[in-house]
Structure formats: structure tokens, C-alpha cells
Amino acid sequence: MKGLPISTCRFLATLARAPRIAVVGSGPGGLYVCDGVLRRLPKCEVDVVECNVVPYGLIRYGVAPDHPEVKNCINKFDRMFTANAHRLSLFCNVCVGRDITFDELCADYDAVVLAYGARRQRRLAVPGVSSKNVFSGGDFVSWYNAHPGAEQPKLDCENAVVVGVGNVALDCCRILLSAGGERLAQSDMPSQILDHLARSKVNTVTIVGRRGPLDVVVGVGNVALDCCRILLSAGGERLAQSDMPSQILDHLARSKVNTVTIVGRRGPLDASFLFYHPFLVSFTIKELREQVTLPGCSFTMQLSDADLKAINESLASLPRPRKRLTELMMKNWNRDEPRSRRHCELLFRRSPVEILADDDGWVSGVRMRNSQTETLEDLRCGLLIYSLGFENVVLDGVPQDENGRIKMRDSVRVHTAGETLVYASGWCAHTPRGVIANTQVDSANVAKALCSDIGLRGVKPHIESSVAERLKLKGVQYTTWQQWKAIDEREKQLGHHKIAGMVVQENSIADDNWRS
């Protein structure tokens, strides 16, 4: 009962039964709460409910495969499940609202923790967005991470555009321009995805920002950079060494994409971290450095005279993190080097107004308005990725505020009228922001508040059922911790390449585990 007052610890020791806690979501927001609760309440029972067929949420399906160090927290969670097997249970392939309701969870548990992230992607609201080979950054990331049901992009074009200036935009760009290389081959990317990337013909990625030869990624955050990096890494060793599934590596290996353009709506001084308003690009220095040093790929950035002047005048007074990021951008904006076969370009102050398509409905370009000159320009591309971030989703039955978000009593507690204690952790509690370290701090606060509240109030006098009992009555198949470890072991035998996304669709390994 570490961290709790002595009086609270004494009260918990007198409880008639162990507190029962349900956690919705097995990503970092939920599992860090589990860790804090299990350490503070030695006699509690925790059930984790996850909508995906396998655990770990955004760590598994949102982190770029060539960033294995970000996934190290999985080792901690593995040890947590193993050490607490008698009181920590996992129920994957169970969706709240489909297989079990929020009200049922409240009836069956003393406390419910909502930690299911921000599921809905912001959509690009322009004509032509439904054209073929137009993807959100989240959809593209889901594909190269082998999420079940993700649509496969066509990579038989040379030019791609990424709209957005965040880390996901850079991820998409990097993956595209790494296709067929060693970087991806060493990741956990499935072999079929590596193969698809290896056949990619994309050789130019243009990054276009609304602030401050071509596939286009719209957005200037880390997701945009992820998409760019993956596209431009296709066929390389970088992805081959990742956990990317083999079928995705195969698809990337055939990619013809060689130019990725990243488009940002504002200017370069607007491009990251909301903490330093008004200097807002959303990608981070780590992601940008990775992109500008990507082997076999050149990088350019278009800056207007007005933006160059603003940067020179304000650089010395910027906060240190923003200053370092801006200095890196300036160092690489107009490098004196020959253009490589694969190329990444970053554009600012462009807002998409229409997506252009050919007679068969396939994307052929994007029409943009330059906010400085108010002129329209067309950028040709055969693949367009827009990376505009995520929005919160409120589950049925969970109280909402006037903005359509979870109604919070304070930073961790949900405003409910019932006797069940309800909390929210991570992105679903607030706006989608920050990295895993931020979520870890948020989750620790939730765990501390939950344990303190139970210590003050005790457990409920009556519990109706449990997740396991309700799922059995409804005939719902779910993945247990033991079944997940069997899938995990099989992936390790395949060199840490993901299989679950593809395998579950093919009804093989996962079904065998369900029957066991």
C-alpha cells in the first residue's frame, strides 16, 4: 500500500472482500494505471478489457516499427501480468458497447478506469477526399503496423504528398522512403508489408504545412513524419530489422514512391509542440533529425522571404527546445547537395482546398491555397496521406460535457452519479497530446486517486457479475493473457515480425488459441 496514509492502509485491510477494478484499454494509459493500483492494493483484482484482438494498443499499432526503443515498456507490462497472474486478467477482442456495456461494468466493479485513447481521426473536409488512394495518417500507420482490417495502399506511383507537420507525418514519409532498405527489414514489420513496400515506386515525398515528384502527406506532426519515413525507407534494411509483418515489407519493397511532399498549413515557426505558443510545428527534433539524415534520401524545405526574416529575427529568443528544432530546420532547408533518387520536400502555408482525381476515381493531385500569396497551386501525386491528429470518442453511457468529451470532475475523476468510482486516463481523458512519458505521469495520478478513494469509501455492498461471466453467457470469444503469449511466442519464432493482424484475419493461430 505504498504511498497511502496509514489510516487508509488500515481501513483497506478490514475490507470484506478485495476491491474489483475494470480497466478499459490495454495501452500505456491503462496498463500504467494497473501497475500503480497493483502496487498500492495488494489484494485487489483487476480485469483489463481491450477492443483489439491482442494487447498494448498504441504501442503495438501506433509506434513506427523502426522505433523499437519506444516499445520497451511492453517488457515491464509483461512482467506485471506474469507476477500478478492470480489477480490480473486480460480480455482482448472485447469492445465496450458491442460485447459489454459501460453500465454492466459499473454494476460489476468497484471502480472503472477508462483508458481507451482517442480513436477517431480528424478528417480532411475538402471535395475529393473519398478518392482512391487517399488515407488518413492513422489509417496508413494502421496498415504498416498490420492492424486487422487495415486497407493496403497502392504504391505504384512515384510521387506522394503528406498533409500535416507532425511526427506521424514524418513517420509516414520515412517509411515510404525507407522501403526496401535494411532499416525496416530489422523491424517487427510483417514480411508481406515489407514485400509490398519493397515494390514501391514512390521516390519523392512532399510535406505540405498550412502553417508557417510526389506522394502528399497533409500535416506537420510526428505521424506525418512517420508516414514519410516509412514510405521513403521502403525496401531498405531499416524496416527489414523492425517488427513489421513480412507481407507489408514485401508490399513496401515493390513501392515506386520516390518523392514525398509534406504539407503544413502554417509557417515554420508554428510547426511543433503547443507548449510554446505562438511557435507551434507538431513534429519533434528527434523525428525531424531522423528524416533529414535518412540514408539514400535527400531533403529540401521551401521557405518564403517573410518566413526567413521572421526566423532570423526571433531565433535567439526562442525557448531552447524550439530553438534547437528551428536551428535543425534552418541547417537543412537548402542543403547544397545533389538530389537523390528518393526525396522528401517540406512545404509551409498551404491549405488543401480540393483533392483531384482521374476518371477512374484515383487520386491524381491536390489543389492548395498559399496563405501568404492567396494563390492556388496544384501538386501532382498518386498517393495522398493527411495527418491532422485524433479526436476523443465518448463511449455509450459515459457522461459527456458540452464539448462532447468525457465529463470530468477533476483531472482524473469522471463526473458520475452512481456509486461506482469512474476515472479516465491518457488521451481519452484529455486532448490527444504528449508522448508515453506524459501518459505515465497521468496514469500514476489516476492510480493514486483511485486507491485513495477506495480507502476512504470502501467497496460496494453488492457486485452483480464480472466480465468473464457476462462474456461466457453472451458467447463472446476473447483472447486471454495465455493465448496472447502463445501468439507472442510465435512472433518471436518468426524473428519478432508481427503476425496477429494477418493471422486473425485468416482464422489460424488466434482461432487455434481460442479453441485451446
Q: Which residues are annotated as a binding site for NADP(+)?
A: 210-211
Pairing of strands 363-370, 376-386: antiparallel
Kindly state the DSSP code that residue 341 receives in the 8-state scheme: S
Rounded CA gap, 265 and 351, in Å? 5
Q: At what angle are helices 285-292 and 320-332 packed, to 10 degrees?
A: 10
Q: Name, in order, each residue with C-beta under 8 angstroms of 340's C-beta and a sequence gap of 6 or more.
A: 296, 297, 298
Determine contact, residues 215/364, Cβ cutoff 8 Å.
Answer: no
User: Within 208-347, where are the H helices?
Assistant: 223-226, 237-240, 285-292, 305-314, 320-332
Q: Name, in order, each residue with C-beta under 8 angstroms of 31's C-beta and a sequence gap of 6 or more.
A: 23, 48, 56, 77, 80
Residue positions counted in the chain? 516
Residue with cell 528524416: 291
DSSP assignment string, 104-128: HHHHH-SEEEE-----EEPP--STT
Within 13 A of 175's CA, how many CA atoms are on the CB side?
43
Determine contact, residues 202/257, Cβ cutoff 8 Å.
Answer: yes
Instruction: Work out the widest C-alpha separation in the chain, in whole angstroms.
Output: 74
**Using CA atoms in the order 478, 483, 484, 488, what is the torsion angle rounded to 10 degrees?**
-150
Which residues carry a binding-site annotation for FAD? 50, 58, 96
Which residues carry a binding-site annotation? 50, 58, 96, 210-211
Q: At what angle are helices 167-176 and 285-292 packed, to 10 degrees?
A: 20
Rounded CA gap, 153 and 113, in Å? 36
HEC secondary structure over 36-58: HHHHHCCCCEEEEEECCCCCCHH
Rounded CA gap, 387 and 165, in Å? 8
